[in-house]
Amino acid sequence: MKAFLLSIFVLFSLHVYAQSRVSSPKSKAELNRRYFGMHFDFHAVAGDSLIGKNLSERGLDSLLTAIKPDFIQVDCKGHPGVSSYPSKVVTATVAPHIVNDPLAFYRAVTRKHGVDLYLHYSGVYDDAVLVKHPNWAVRKADGSINKSKTSVHGPYADSLLIPQLNELADYGADGVWVDGECWATVLDYSPQALANFRVSTGIQTVPRLETDAGYSLFKDFARRSFVNYIGHYVDAVHRHRPTFRIASNWAYSSMMPEPVMTNVDFLSGDLTPSNSVNSAALEGRIMAAQGQLYRKPWDLMSWSFWYEFNPVPRQGDQKTAIHLLQEAAEIIALGGGFQAYYQQSRDASIPRRELPVMVELSRFVRARQLFCEGSVPVPQIAVLYANSTVKAFNQPLFGNGQTQRISGVLTALLDAQLPVEVLSEYHLKGRLNQYPVIVVSQQDSLDPAFRRDLLDYARQGGHLVIIGAETTRSFADFLGVTPIDQQTNSPQLVVYNGASVLLTGPFQSVRITNAATKSIGQLRQSEAGDPKPGIIATETLFGRGKLTAVYADLSRDYQKHQSAKLRNFIASMVRPLLLEPIVDVSGSHLVHVVLNRQHNRLTVNLINTGGRHADPQVFTYDEVPPLTNLTVRIRTNKKPKRIVQQPENSVLPVRYTDGIATVIVPKLTLHSILVVE
């Protein structure tokens, strides 16, 4: 698969092309329209017989008055492909028993309240249309029909998708959240797809197995075809109604970390329903980078209930307010918008049983909007999430399986109170030297030109931290080591700074061959045993900078166990390289720190991440103890006029010495922002 990796030249060209295509930036007032909202859907099926019967204007009035959202999203066509409104599009499959038109109802009431209306619409994933038109389906390698996934090369977009989106715009809806898109897109062996592939590549023998020549090119063609499909329907609908706002769920996210090449109006995705505090921290950073580079507003959606997809689907309890507030905090601290997903009733009405939780969410997000919206990160530490690695190792065309290469390391750094961004190669291109530290964790397929850029960054004074058995092996010549033996998955006991930590691997044995390289840490036979030969980590002077290497995969270990000792070990590889940190927080390891600049002022977000949100055996929890007496040190050119803890509006006493302003935060309940004035 490495044969098809994009060169840096191509990445840069894509970036320039994308900048020429993206829509002009929206006004601040328009950006605000998707800062806080609620999502409701029920994926209508043909057997739903009461759609629209129990719609209550009084009930919806009370909900909108209580939560005061910028927008709500409601169902119009889910994955079964059944429209839950009386569509007039001839190719649509409409629920046969619609009592009253839900879309007309929701539009009338939301308009009265000044609330935008967005619609949940399933795109590529459509069961019903393929019953009527099986020739619109994706074909598998064996020639059989995929009964759920439409072909992006077929008539579906022009014959159903675009006509229905135009119809939704004519209802007066403000936009659409198109679900079942990148993550539902699969390799397509339909006649039209194969004909297009042959024309596009000149390859006549179509690869059908991973071992076949050109298989990676076929996957790359399929990815490009999906991007073209998005661009086609977005532009077509914009021609019909330029103000209609469109997002393709999870496009340009961790599942598809590519340059934004289409005129989507905003970026959005729904978080994994379990362990969502940590996934919000990861996905939010990827979305924030895309939004900043391509000037796109973005938001993330929390599921209001616990759910697990694998190994078998199972649903847990509705999440408590405090659980959802933590997820919201991770998102809004990064400058993004927030929405929560509650299930819509099968009659298309919205239950109000969870209204008290929705109200708490609204109050929490609104209280912080003034201090979070429009924030951009201050460069400190970058964790690389390379599109080249994602493409090389993802089995599906699009998916977030490769986040496991960085997610544990990211969480460990955040749990060590370090301010971290997650950036791809094209986010870093031309601005590597803005970051004092760049972490490359298990990025095992880097473009050669970008790899050279990383090394040049270190030569010029940057600090590169390289983690992972295979990744360090690929940098061995520059690390001053020679790999010996094959990688092993045998657990390794490491002693560093007087503490022991067990690493489960993979692990790469090396021998130091350069006088400029020194070993870090020590391997031991057992906790009570003697030291044993071997090297776990090294530090190498490299030009004016430094290369730090850990010869083991660390991410999954921390993701699984979240050991305090492993957290400290990972942080010890990074923290000393941040020679003049702009912010330093001490007093608890339960704090996540987000360092931003907002409207020409420095802000420090502090998020209390206590609670068992990462425990797969815990559906939800209702208590997160507050943290007290946190010490925050902020490096500034001059003494701040004041530092205010918001939204508490508490002015904190400042001690200023040698360019460092120090404050004590007496109490952190869930999320506070220190505004430096």
pLDDT value of position 528: 84
Q: Cα(656)–Cα(581) distance, rounded to whole angstroms?
A: 16
Contact 44, 80 (CB under 8 A): yes
Please state, in angstroms and rounded to a whole number, the distance separating the CA atoms of residues 452 and 458.
10
Cβ-based neighbour number of residue 288 at 10 Å: 26
| Residue 322 in tokens | 């405090």
Exposure pattern of 599-621 as b/e (b: 16+ CB <10 Å)? eeebbbbbbbbbbebbeeeebbb
Write out pLDDT tens, residues 60-109.
999 999 999 999 999 999 999 999 999 999 999 999 999 999 999 999 99
Task: Give pLDDT, residue 124.
Answer: 98
d(CA 151, CA 157): 9
The residues pairing with 652 across neighbouring beta strands, listed in sequence order, are: 643
Residue 527: the pLDDT is 87
Residues of the chain with pLDDT under 50: 1-32
Region of 534 please: left (phi>0), alpha (psi -120 to 50) or beta: left
Q: How far is CA 478 from CA 53, 61, 442, in A?
A: 69, 65, 17
**pLDDT value, residue 353:** 94
| Beta pairing class for 337-343 and 36-41 | parallel
What is the value of pTM for the model shown? 0.94
Please give the pLDDT value at position 592: 98
The C-alpha torsion from 7 through 13 and 15 to 21, rounded to 10°, is -150
C-alpha distances (whole Å) from 511 to each of 483, 523, 551 are 6, 14, 11
- From CA 75, how far away is CA 38, in angstroms rounded? 12
Which three-class secondary structure state does DSSP give residue 628? Answer: strand
Among 613, 586, 603, which residue's Cα sits nearest to residue 675?
603
